Amino acid sequence: MTAGNDATRALHADHARTFHANRFVYPVLSRRSGGISVGVNLNPDKICNFDCIYCQVDRRRQSETTFVETDALMAELESTLRLVASGELYNFPEFAAVPPALRRLNDIAFSGDGEPTTYRNFDELIAACAAVKVRLGLDEVKMVLITNASMLHREHVRRGLAILDAHQGEIWAKLEAGTDAYYHKIERTPIPFRQILDNITDAARVRPLVIQSLFMRVDGEPPSAAELAAFCDRLNEITADGGQLKLVQVYTVARRPAESFVAPLTDAEVDAIVTLVKERTGLPAAAFYGVAT
């Protein structure tokens, strides 16, 4: 993806998690999807098992909705999909400036304000959303799980992944460190780095995964050359162990991060990481930039 103009970048940065009266489902113009993504928020309580220093979920304000109401979520999903598929969405002022090339319904994305796979009834919810997609005849629309990979080994999550596989599913798994120390510095979680690497490898043995990697400036410093080399080594280990990786998305901070010592990389720095990943792993890699400064 090439850098958009400032207006397009501003739209991309506007990922409010509410759409009019909706509480769980929100359409966004997605940089990484290249179209409209209908987000499903399975963590309205804003609780996550990671505490990433760059997290762009606004936790300064408490949400009024703290648990998923399945019936309301399904109704919101259906009405929002109809709105996007019909093109009525672009009559709303906040979507009127979406460029014609991006006026397409790309996916239903499970992400939101925390880690979606921590949702207790994950598999049942995925099945119900897939049924809505089938009923509306949206066969070509993808179902994207945006995950930190921490729970992919759990049985109910595995069942959910199998349902995704049967419905144009795609898993975007977070991996943005090469060393244990950097992983813990960035993600601030007690979950071992080894668990994340094993989960990604196991899931990628079953179907090809997309890796999502956010790199940033921490206290003014971009990731070191040694860290980036170690990151490429981890990718190589996953593929050597039989994992299939179809794309490495390299991106940077585009919205207000959790910590003030975090800042975006420049477009050139993101491009350099993409080049490095391609050279050291042979995997396809794509750049997604931060907001224009």
Residues that bind ligand SF4 (CB under 6 A): 48, 50-52, 55, 57, 114-115, 148
Residue 52 vs 216, nearer CB to ligand SF4: 52
Cβ-based nearer residue to ligand SF4, 40 or 48: 48
We find the least distance from the C-beta atom of residue 189 to ligand SF4, in angstroms, to be: 8
Question: Please, what is the minimum distance in Å from the beta carbon of residue 163 to ligand SF4?
Answer: 22
Complex with ligand SF4: residue 114 or 243, whichever CB lies closer: 114
- Closest approach, Cβ 195 to ligand SF4, in A, equals 14
Question: Least distance (Å) from ligand SF4 to the CB of residue 218?
Answer: 15
81 or 149: whose CB is closer to ligand SF4? Answer: 149
Q: CB of 184: closest distance to ligand SF4 in angstroms?
A: 13
In this structure, are residues 188 and 197 in contact, taking their beta carbons and an 8 Å threshold? no
- Residue 39 or residue 114: which is nearer to ligand SF4 going by CB? 114
Beta carbon nearer to ligand SF4, 172 or 231: 172
| CA separation for the pair 237, 230 (Å, rounded) | 10
> Minimum Å distance from CB 131 to ligand SF4?
27
